[in-house]
Amino acid sequence: MSLTVQQQKLYKSGLVYALLSYGIWGVFPLYWKMLLHVPPQQILAHRIVWSLLFLMIVLAWRRDRVFLQYLTSPRILGILLLTSALIGGNWFVYIYAVNNNHIVDASLGYYINPIVNILLGVVFLKERLSRIQIIAVSFAFAGVAYLTFHYGKLPVISLVLAFSFGLYGLLRKKANLQSMPGLMVETLLLAPVALWYLWHMNSLGTASFGHESLLLDILLVTGGPVTALPLFWFGIAATRIPLSTLGFIQYLSPTIQLLIGIFVFSEPFSAAYLISFGLVWTGLGIYTYSIIRALRLRKAG
C-alpha cells in the first residue's frame, strides 16, 4: 500500500531526526576530548546539571507538565530512580572511556548492545529466541570471549556500556514513559549529588568551571543540550519510522566512534580486536537478517 504525502513527509523527517541523533552520538568522542583535562566526575556533574536546566526550559516552553505526574507516583519514581543511576553510570563510563583512550572499547559496547537487548528480553520479558537469533547471540558472545581469552581480562568498559544502556532501555520500556519528561525526572534525581559534588570541588579549589577559560565554561554548559537534544530527536524518529529502519541506523553511532578512535586519535586496533569485532559484526548481520525476514513473513501473512 502506497504512503500518503503526509506519511512520506513524516517518514523523511523521521529519517533526518534518526540520522541527527545517531550522528551526534557518533561524534561525541570529539566533544568530550575537548574537555580532556577536566576530571570525568566533574564533566558528568556538569552534564547532569545543565541537562536539567535545558530540559526545564524546553518543557516550560512546551507547557509540558507530564513530569509532575511522574514525581507524584511512587512506582514511577522508583523506576526512574533506578534508570537515573543506570544512565548516570553509563554517561560516566563513556566519558571515562573517551578521555582515557578507550573509544574502540566504547564502540564495541554499543555494537554489543542490540545483542544484550535480546538477552534481557529473554531473561526479564520471557521472550523466546528463534534459532537464527541464538546463532546471532552466539557470534557476539564468541567475539567477547575471544577478546577476553586473548588479553586475559573481560572488556569491562564495553560490557558495562552495553548492559547499563540495555537495562536502562528495558526499564524505560516496561515503564512506558515519555522520553523528555522521563529524562527530566532522571536528571532531577541526580542533580542534588551533582550540585553537591561541584560545590565541594569548588570549595577545595579544584573546580574547572569558572576558573580556566570561557571556552571551557561554554563547552561544559553546552553539555546539557548536547545530551538532551539527540534523545529528544530519537524519540521523534522512533514514532515516525519503522523499528527495523531505526535498527539499521543505530549502527551509525558506534561505526563513527570506531573510525574516530582509530583514525583521529590513533587508538590501537590489533588483530585480536579485528577478530572480535568481526564476530560481533557477523552476529549483528544475522540478527538484522532475522528482523527483515520476520517483517517480510508478517507482511506476507
DSSP string for 234-293: HHHHHHHS-HHHHHHHTTHHHHHHHHIIIIIS-----HHHHHHHHHHHHHHHHHHHHHHH
Model confidence band, residue 3 (pLDDT cutoffs 50, 70, 90): low
- Top-confidence residue, 209 or 279: 279
pLDDT value for 194: 96
**Tens digit of each residue's pLDDT (9 = 90 or more) over 156-195:** 999 999 999 889 888 887 888 888 898 899 999 999 999 9
Is pLDDT at 80 greater than 60 in this prediction? yes
Tens-place pLDDT, residues 19-65 = 999 999 999 999 999 998 899 999 999 999 999 999 999 999 999 89
Predicted local confidence at residue 140, as pLDDT: 87
